[in-house]
């Protein structure tokens, strides 16, 4: 009994020091994580395509970065948003976006927000059938939540909502005497589904 107590006294400090190190080793994120994601609505609702690549270096801490691109035909409910815009159609082809997101938690996912910058070509079709292509650059912010349903695999689901404002447009969306009224602030809802990989341990 005395020997057991003595062993406990001797080993206790060593175990106390070893345990935090083991926890720290488990909690340490990999050097680089990457993800590939899509918005299913691009293929099912918007008659287009799209994809997103995300990177999260351990060196950037809470910041994660994403580049995306694609094309979409906007639904009439989004395009014909006032009486003047009735009958217009809009196609985005292509669009490229860059985003930097700050995550408030300490794990792989959670709540995030951050700036978005992008460029696109918008093709507007007027009610009478004429078309005009408008190149534009935009910037804004978005907020969302990155959810990993399973701890052991990288499946990830990310609902988020953005809002952007046009910074530059090559010309006004006009065809003859018809003019489309652009919104000053454009909402960008998305639901991304993808997979995240630990690229560098």
Contact 137, 167 (CB under 8 A): yes
pLDDT(162) > 50: yes
Task: Report the C-alpha gap between 157 and 40 in whole angstroms.
Answer: 11
Residue 155 lies in a domain: yes
* pLDDT bracket for residue 12 (50, 70, 90): very low
The predicted model gives 189-201 an average pLDDT of 94
Residue range 39-72, pLDDT digits in tens: 999 999 999 999 999 999 999 999 999 999 999 9
> Is 117 domain-assigned?
yes
**131-146 and 110-125: which strand pairing?**
antiparallel
User: Residue 32 burial (CB < 10 Å; 0-12/13-18/19+)?
Assistant: middle
Q: How confident is the model at residue 179 (pLDDT cuts 50, 70, 90)?
A: very high
User: Is residue 75 over pLDDT 50?
Assistant: yes
Tell me how many domains the chain contains.
Answer: 1
Q: Where does the pLDDT of residue 27 fall: very low under 50, low under 70, confident under 90, or very high at 90 and above?
A: low
Question: Which pairs with CB-CB distance under 8 Å and at least 24 residues apart come from 125-130?
Answer: 125/88, 125/89, 125/90, 125/91, 126/87, 126/88, 126/175, 126/176, 126/178, 126/180, 127/86, 127/87, 127/88, 127/178, 128/175, 128/176, 128/178, 130/175, 130/176, 130/178
Cα 105 from chain centroid (whole Å): 16
How far is the C-alpha of 170 from the C-alpha of 191, rounded, in Å?
30
Specify if 113 maps to a domain: yes
Q: Please check whether residue 19 lies inside any domain of the structure.
A: no
- Three-state DSSP at 168 gives strand
| Joined tokens for residue 70 | 């694609």
Domain-embedded: residue 24:
no
Which tokens is 145 given? Answer: 């939540």
Q: Is the pLDDT of residue 6 over 50?
A: no
111: in domain: yes
Residue 4 lies in a domain: no
CB atoms within 10 A of CB 150: 8
Q: Across the chain, what does the average pLDDT equal?
A: 89
Q: What is the pLDDT of residue 65?
A: 98
Q: What is the CATH number of the domain that holds 182?
A: 2.40.160.20
Average of per-residue pLDDT across 177-189: 95
Name the residue range of residue 146's domain: 33-200
pLDDT 10s digits, 128-159: 999 999 999 999 999 999 999 998 899 999 99
Q: Give residue 80's pLDDT.
A: 97
Whether residue 162 contacts residue 140, with contact meaning beta carbons closer than 8 Å, is answered with: yes
Cα–Cα distances in angstroms (integers) from residue 135 to residues 95, 105, 118, 138, in the given order: 10, 37, 11, 10
Distance of CA 65 to the CA centre of its chain: 8
């Amino acid at each position: 009994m005395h020997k057991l107590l003595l062993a406990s006294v001797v080993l206790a400090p060593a175990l106390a020091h070893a345990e935090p190190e083991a926890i720290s080793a488990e909690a340490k994120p990999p050097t680089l994580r990457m993800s590939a994601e899509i918005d299913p609505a691009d293929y099912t609702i918007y008659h287009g395509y799209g994809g997103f690549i995300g990177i999260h270096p351990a060196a950037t801490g809470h910041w994660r970065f994403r580049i995306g691109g694609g094309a979409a035909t906007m639904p009439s409910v989004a395009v014909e948003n006032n009486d003047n815009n009735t009958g217009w159609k809009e196609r985005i082809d292509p669009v490229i976006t860059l985003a930097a997101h700050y995550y408030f938690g300490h794990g792989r996912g959670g709540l995030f927000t951050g700036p978005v910058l992008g460029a696109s070509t918008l093709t507007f079709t007027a009610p009478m059938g004429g078309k005009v292509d408008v190149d534009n650059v935009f910037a804004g912010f978005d907020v969302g939540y990155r959810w990993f349903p399973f701890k052991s695999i990288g499946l990830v689901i990310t609902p988020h909502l953005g809002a952007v404002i046009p910074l530059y447009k090559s010309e006004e969306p006009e065809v003859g005497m018809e003019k489309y009224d652009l919104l000053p602030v454009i909402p960008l809802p998305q639901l991304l589904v993808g997979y995240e990989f630990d690229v560098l341990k």
